[in-house]
Structure 1
Amino acid sequence: MQKKVMIYAYTNFNLGDDLFIKLLCERYPKTQFFLYAPREYKHNFKSFRNVSIYSSNNFFMRLLNYGLRKLKIDFSIRNIIARKCDAIVHVGGSIFIQKDNWTGIPNYKQKIKGKPFYVLGSNFGPFQNQQFFTEHYELFKKYTDICFRDKYSYGLFKDLPNVRVADDIVFQLNRKRSVSIKKHIVISVIKPSFRKNLHNYDEIYYQKIKDITIYFVNMGYQVTLMSFCEKEGDQEAVEEILQKLPEEIFDNVAKYYYKYNMEEALDIIASSSYVIATRFHSMILGWVFNKPVFPVSYSKKMNNVMKDIGFQGSYIDLKEINSLKPIDVYECMETNSVDVSVQAKNSKNHFKKLDEYLLNSTNMGTGAKSI
């Protein structure tokens, strides 16, 4: 009998998170997946016959959410849908961060009685107090399987028998793409102040990315400023940087805003000759497509992964970017390559336990649809 699986994921048109969903659904074509997400997600997964989308932004769903809040019912629509499925898979990266207003583990992360619950692809933290850690430790005991993407997170919970570690899920993406390599630089950018610990860094970061862009154009390169997630301010950051550039280089600078087309976004990176990566998954994708990568690390999760894979190239922490010189970035094109073939193989271990549960399902998928 075909298995029905509820996906919990970050559904704000973030390229990295959308790739998690893509790789999950591609691996199990005979499983029917259900995703609670904005209706526009049907564009992202229109070619997937095994994905059904429950529209989180349609009128009925919004009305139901309003009613639950007014009645002070501590229950989520995602959980209502999940109860009709055979299992839940929570796939995502930074899904266990302690926020300032944290008051306890949200309902949708609680284990549903009788339903296998898998967590794949995550890191843990940052967190500020022991209570956050302790409550998650007790929660994780109840999950079927947890596979972290970094050794630091794994080390926090390694005494739990259901906790494992594997390299980031995106490492297993198909590396072969029929695109031409040209003198083309991709710079993935963020809006630093979207993150509280970087709220004073917008201006200096934009200025440095502007300087790097001008330098590479003057060295004969085309530059693409790339947004991975509009909601988190990437697109706004691109526009701020573009406004700082001199008009005479506009013909050599492009912008790319990811929203619906994952394959197009991947081709942009695959066709480049160098990636300057502030986004975590721009760093991973650069390595996947065998590009030299200069990371601009805005989070310890980037440093942890660089350490895990033994990256020996140069990088800069975003808080230290004021000291960065464009020539230093340029010279790293010769030194910042890394072979991730081992990581590509190891990343498939995220699905080891889920394989045991799903691979005997029958294919009854009827196409991605919005409900």
Structure 2
Amino acid sequence: MPVSAIYLREGMKKLKRMLIHAYTKFNLGDDLFVKLLCERYPDTHFVLPARSEYKQCFASLSNLTLYPIESIWVRGIRKVLKKLKLGSIDIQKVLLKRLARRCDGVVQIGGSVFMQGARWKEDYAWKLDVFDSRKPYFVLGANFGPYKDDTFYVRHRELFSTYTDICFRDRYSYDLFKDLGNVRLAPDIIFQHAKPDNPRNGKYVVISVIKPSDRESLKDFDAMYYNKIKEIAVAFAEEGYGVKLMSFCEYEGDEEAVKAIHSLIPQVYADRVNMYFYKTNLEEAVGLLASSGMIVATRFHAMILGWVFGKPVFPIAYSEKTTNVMNDAGFTGAYADLKAMDSLDPEEVVRSLNTNTLNVSVLARQAERHFEKLDNYLGKNNNAKEASAALNPGVFARRGHES
């Protein structure tokens, strides 16, 4: 619905204008976060700083305005500043700071957005400078860590105490900060994703992959991981299944990993194993997962979406965020730890076709709790409290694995 139409419907009531702080590197999971947020609040005007290519990704969201952070005129200003020997001025930060001042608040939505990297102090200072501490700041769907030292934790504890609301997606993160009073817990936001109207189980398996060496803790695992994924793909091909090697995020090396694994597939199985690269077509990518017969999920949100769509899922855990959520969700099916999967029998993965589903209907209702405080601020009537009224605050339903 056009913004002008919303104004008329609300009797000229002023729309709230919210800045979205998100990971905008064309990662399927993070892009779904933004989509679900905007769809939940059609009467709110959202602004997302992102590359102009995101117009394709979010073309259906009439209440979202893209703020092109790498537009021609921004690059032009940067060149002018460089000629004037003012290159130390971060024009992008200046523009984002002005944009934040013009908004009524900030929604930071994402998953692993509080990890300790080499430049975390610079990133921390950047956030303090850009965002107006006098305006509401909501954090939805995140987990905290991994982190290496107490300074990282203490500084973020200080920062979090100034925020309006923080809703973590895993108990580990929640327990670190639950005494602050503004911290809550709910299952991952993607549990809120709608199920397909006419679900089908295609005769193919989606294998979502990553490039292990893109992560500091997995620098030496590329060759082992690629070879094991190749073995799993071949095992499914031998059972008559098609295989889709799927990239969720080119920027993080998924596409490179898909190509490397595909090059290992023996020629006799080549016609059964295909590559799929997510770029900007969210609906197409989600549809591929929703119509599959099974999902082998290294990507965290491949696991979540597989459960939501009622698919057998074999998770490959590359970090504690995966195992934390598996535990919180009560998943008791077979899975692999990426670092130890050299000994994994591919036939164990194939057998999971018949065992590794999970009923997530309760988790889907609980996931709505992420939005409770934001609903109140944006004036949206919601059923989130009703969805969790019978449950203890911050406690996930425990649902076992089902065959």
The alignment's TM-score, normalised by the length of structure 1, stands at: 0.94
Matched ranges for 1:27-176 at <5 A: 27-64=40-77, 67=81, 70-71=88-89, 75-103=93-121, 105-108=124-127, 111-176=131-196
Match of 1:8 in 2: 21
- Quick one: which amino acid aligns to residue 46 of structure 1? A
Structure-2 change in CA distance of 1:94 and 1:65 (3 Å): farther
Task: Return 5+ residue gaps in structure 1 as ranges.
Answer: 362-371
Report the CA distance between 1:181 and its aligned residue: 1.6
Match of 1:368 in 2: none
Structure-2 change in CA distance of 1:167 and 1:76 (3 Å): farther
Deviates more, 1:300-309 or 1:352-361: 352-361
Task: Indicate conservation of the 8 Å contact 1:177/1:267, yes or no.
Answer: no
Match of 2:397 in 1: none
Percent identity between the two aligned chains:
50
Determine helix, strand or coil for the equivalent of 1:147: strand
Structure-2 change in CA distance of 1:78 and 1:196 (3 Å): same
Match of 1:267 in 2: 287
Task: Indicate conservation of the 8 Å contact 1:4/1:31, yes or no.
Answer: yes
Deviates more, 1:63-72 or 1:304-313: 63-72
Task: Indicate conservation of the 8 Å contact 1:293/1:337, yes or no.
Answer: yes
Determine helix, strand or coil for the equivalent of 1:57: coil
Task: Return 5+ residue gaps in structure 2 as ranges.
Answer: 1-13, 382-403
Match of 1:353 in 2: 373
Query: Partners of 1:84 and 1:184 in 2: how far apart?
Result: 48
Task: Indicate conservation of the 8 Å contact 1:74/1:107, yes or no.
Answer: no
Determine helix, strand or coil for the equivalent of 2:120: coil
For the pair 1:288 / 2:308, whether they are aligned, the reply is: yes
Query: Partners of 2:160 and 2:68 in 1: how far apart?
Result: 29
Match of 1:365 in 2: none
Structure-2 change in CA distance of 1:69 and 1:348 (3 Å): farther
Match of 1:236 in 2: 256
The superposition leaves residues 314-368 of structure 1 with CA deviations (integer Å, 9 ceiling, x where unpaired) of: 111100010111111111222211111111001111110000011369xxxxxxx
Query: Partners of 1:276 and 1:63 in 2: how far apart?
Result: 45
> Which of 247, 256, 260 does residue 267 from structure 2 map onto?
247
Structure-2 change in CA distance of 1:57 and 1:286 (3 Å): same
- Quick one: which amino acid aligns to residue 107 of structure 1? W
Report the CA distance between 1:177 and its aligned residue: 3.7
> Which of 290, 306, 323 does residue 343 from structure 2 map onto?
323
Task: Indicate conservation of the 8 Å contact 1:76/1:107, yes or no.
Answer: no
The superposition leaves residues 182-228 of structure 1 with CA deviations (integer Å, 9 ceiling, x where unpaired) of: 22100000000000110100011000011111110010101100000
Query: Partners of 2:151 and 2:207 in 1: how far apart?
Result: 39
Match of 1:369 in 2: none
Structure-2 change in CA distance of 1:74 and 1:332 (3 Å): closer
For the pair 1:17 / 2:35, whether they are aligned, the reply is: no
The alignment's TM-score, normalised by the length of structure 2, stands at: 0.86
For the pair 1:314 / 2:334, whether they are aligned, the reply is: yes
Report the CA distance between 1:237 and its aligned residue: 0.5
Query: Partners of 2:343 and 2:350 in 1: how far apart?
Result: 15
Structure-2 change in CA distance of 1:71 and 1:48 (3 Å): closer
Task: Indicate conservation of the 8 Å contact 2:78/2:91, yes or no.
Answer: no
Report the CA distance between 1:63 and its aligned residue: 4.4
Alignment length (residue pairs) = 361
Q: What RMSD in Å do the two structures reach over aligned CA positions? A: 1.7
Task: Indicate conservation of the 8 Å contact 2:74/2:91, yes or no.
Answer: no
- Quick one: which amino acid aligns to residue 286 of structure 2? L
For the pair 1:341 / 2:361, whether they are aligned, the reply is: yes
